[in-house]
Amino acid sequence: MSRFAPCTALKMTPWVIVTTLALAGCQTTTNAQRESGLQTMAPVENINGRRANTANDQANKQSTPIANPAAVAKPAAPVNPAWDMFQQIEGLRSTVATLQGRVEEQQQVIDRLQEDSRARYTDLDQRIELLNQNNATSASEALINPADATPTAPAAVATLADIEAQKKAYLAAYQSFRSEGPAAAIVSMDSFIKQYPDSVFVANAYYWLGEFHLANTPADLDAASAQFNRVIGDYEGSPKVASSYYKLGTIADLKDQRNEARQLMQTVVNRFPDSAEAGLATGYLTANPANVTR
């Protein structure tokens, strides 16, 4: 007889049959649930051959940007008085910075004028010393060769004495600037011009009178311009003509008259190319090109 007898050959009691069927049903249900779970976990092929993934599709839908962001209503910006005050303060700071830059530019011009003035003082001292040497040489020659003196020699001696007096008065007015300041120097130099209107020093006197007006507090730009124009108009052969043109250019710059300032500086370069003022004027033209406003 076979080891495993068929089910029909077994004799089972009703209780055993019921128990066996119940166990078989549970096993069947468990196997069906497992198969269903495997089908759920397994990827499903769609008609296009791609794998459907419900979780991924849902995530993609959530990450998809809105087609028209502008359609989303933006909340109105809240009114913030502190922010408005901050912006006003920043605007004031910007204005102050602009004004500070302008003040610095003006200070640079003033420093340049003072530097030029010191250079002119040195030049003046050198010219006066040269004049003294020439006068001393002329007087010595007249004493050494009295036979060569013409009948007008006494007049020449008187002229030399007059020049000496003019020189002393001129130097006194000039020195008053250093000892007493520009206001006192203006009075002294004006008195010299009135006392010696035909002096050989009068062109320089007008020039320095203009310088003193610039150095005064407050600076009188119009009075200074009048003196420099006097030098240019009445003493064309004076070595101070180039300096007077340059000073007029700096005054025009201080008045924000850029075009006129450039024209005056260009005049210095064209008419006096070998002068020290030509170098200064060239520097101004380079730093202030045409059609550029500050």
Q: 69 falls in which pLDDT band (50, 70, 90)?
A: low
Q: Which long-range contacts (CB under 8 A, 24 or more apart) does 265-274 make?
A: 268/242, 271/242, 271/245, 272/241, 272/242, 272/245
The mean per-residue pLDDT over the stretch 144-153 comes to 44
In this structure, how many other beta carbons lie within 10 angstroms of the beta carbon of residue 263?
A: 14
Mean pLDDT across 171-193: 94
Q: State the pTM of this model.
A: 0.51
The percent helix, strand, coil of the chain (3-state, each to 5) is 75, 0, 25
The pLDDT > 70 percentage for the chain reads 56
Domains of the chain: 160-287 (1.25.40.10)
Name residue 86's amino acid: F
Peptide bond into 218 cis (omega under 30): yes
* Residue 138 pLDDT: 54
- Work out the mean pLDDT of the chain and round it to a whole number: 74
Give the confidence band of 58 by pLDDT, cuts at 50, 70, 90.
low
Q: Give residue-wise pLDDT tens across range 256-275.
A: 999 999 999 999 999 999 99
CA distance 260 to 2: 133
Between 98 and 12, the more confident residue is 98
Alpha carbon distance 222, 209 (integer Å) = 12
Q: Model confidence over 224-235: pLDDT tens digits?
A: 999 999 999 999
Which value, to the nearest 10 degrees, does the dihedral of the CA atoms of residues 152, 138, 173, 107 take?
Answer: 130
CA separation for the pair 95, 165 (Å, rounded): 56
Higher pLDDT: 286 or 94? It is 286
| Helix, strand or coil, per DSSP, at residue 10 | coil
